[in-house]
Amino acid sequence: MPRGDKSAYTDKQKRQAQHIEESYEERGVSEKEAERRAWATVNKESGGGKKSGSGRKNHPKT
């Protein structure tokens, strides 16, 4: 997967990034910088692209 490929993100993450990007642009940030900041924010909040499972590990009791 090449850098900048957004196919590993969920639709929700893509919508969040778009909304964040628009907010930055409304505040006068350049389009390119707004996009960079938006994806950085999404990555910080969600840990990156799609994750499988609930994030909880199932450890059998011993």
Q: What is the pLDDT of residues 14-60, one digit of tens each?
A: 999 999 999 999 999 999 999 999 999 999 988 877 766 555 566 66
Of 8 and 30, the structure prediction assigns the larger pLDDT to 30
Q: What is the number of alpha carbons within 13 Å of residue 42 lying toward its C-beta?
A: 24
pTM of the full structure: 0.71
Cα–Cα distance measured from residue 17 to residue 37, given in angstroms and rounded to the nearest whole number = 9
